[in-house]
């Protein structure tokens, strides 16, 4: 019984996306990413892009954009494309939870608390993109692609609509990610 409860919790955690709540959008991202992992030339081009703006010059980005007509923020989606190009393996755990996981029984998180705080304090999309790229590398290129994508899109949406925050602060990007990260850290820290 304990196992099925855990699985149910994992499934509900996976389903709670703020921006990518439509099944067809989740599917479109998965298909694009799967195809990218075969199309190594395009993946390499995306990886070489330093900023989301550079990604707008890559033809393979537009394949993703066409599949996601409801996502109107091209720069945020470009950031998603660039970050997903760095991911080799998808994960079942939410991205912030992955960052909080213990590194080799060290009692320390894979992504340090300082780096995590810097990520949450990102001032603009370029900075967020760089911090998240660094985080993906720390995770040895294993990341929950939908959680990562949704995080970027939610962050960007909140930056645009600063006065339209969800009434419940815990639903906002920073708080939701901090909760997932620190809840994971608390499972092994004293």
pLDDT of residue 169: 73
Query: Is residue 10, in this structure, part of any structural domain at all?
Result: no
pLDDT of residue 130: 98
Residue 36 lies in a domain: yes
Residue 148 placed within a domain: yes
In the chain, how many domains are there?
Answer: 1
Residue 165 placed within a domain: yes
- 3-state SS of 51-112 is CHHHHCCCHHHHHHHHHCCCCCCHHHHHHHHHHHHHCCECCCCCHHHHHHCECCCCCCECCC
Read off the pTM. Answer: 0.89
Phi, psi of 103 (to 5 degrees): -90, 115
pLDDT digits (tens, 9 = 90+) for 9-42: 444 444 479 999 999 999 999 999 999 999 999 9
Write the burial class of residue 182 (CB in 10 Å: 0-12 exposed, 13-18 middle, 19+ buried): middle
Q: In Å, how far are 18, 24, 49, 79, 83 from 101, measured between CA atoms? A: 23, 30, 28, 24, 20
pLDDT at residue 166, as a whole number: 59
Q: What is the pLDDT of residues 69-88, one digit of tens each?
A: 999 999 999 999 999 999 99
**How far, CA to CA in Å, does 90 sit from each of 77, 87, 95?**
18, 7, 10
For residue 9 the two structure tokens come to 């919790």
> What domain range includes position 135?
22-185
Listed as ranges, residues in the chain with pLDDT below 50 are: 1-15
pLDDT the model gives residue 115: 97
**Is 108 part of a structural domain of the chain?**
yes
CATH number of the domain where residue 60 is located: 1.10.520.40
Q: Is 120 part of any domain?
A: yes
Residue 1 inside a domain? The answer is no
Residue 162 has what pLDDT? 72
């Amino acid at each position: 019984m304990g196992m099925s409860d855990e699985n149910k919790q994992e499934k509900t955690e996976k389903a709670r996306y703020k921006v990518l709540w439509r099944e067809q959008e989740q599917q479109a991202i998965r298909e694009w990413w799967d195809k990218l992992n075969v199309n190594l030339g395009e993946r390499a081009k995306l990886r070489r892009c330093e900023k989301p703006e550079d990604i707008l010059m890559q033809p393979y980005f537009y394949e993703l954009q066409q599949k996601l007509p409801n996502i109107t923020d091209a720069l945020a989606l470009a950031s998603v494309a660039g970050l997903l190009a760095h991911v080799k393996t998808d994960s079942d755990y939410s991205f912030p939870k992955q960052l909080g996981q213990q590194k080799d029984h060290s009692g320390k998180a894979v992504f340090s608390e300082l780096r995590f705080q810097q990520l949450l304090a990102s001032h603009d999309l370029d900075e967020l993109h760089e911090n998240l790229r660094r985080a993906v590398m720390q995770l040895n290129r294993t990341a929950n692609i939908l959680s990562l994508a949704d995080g970027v899109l939610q962050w960007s949406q909140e930056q645009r609509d600063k006065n339209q925050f969800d009434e419940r602060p815990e639903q906002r990007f920073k708080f939701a990610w901090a909760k997932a990260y620190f809840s994971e850290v608390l499972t092994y820290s004293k």
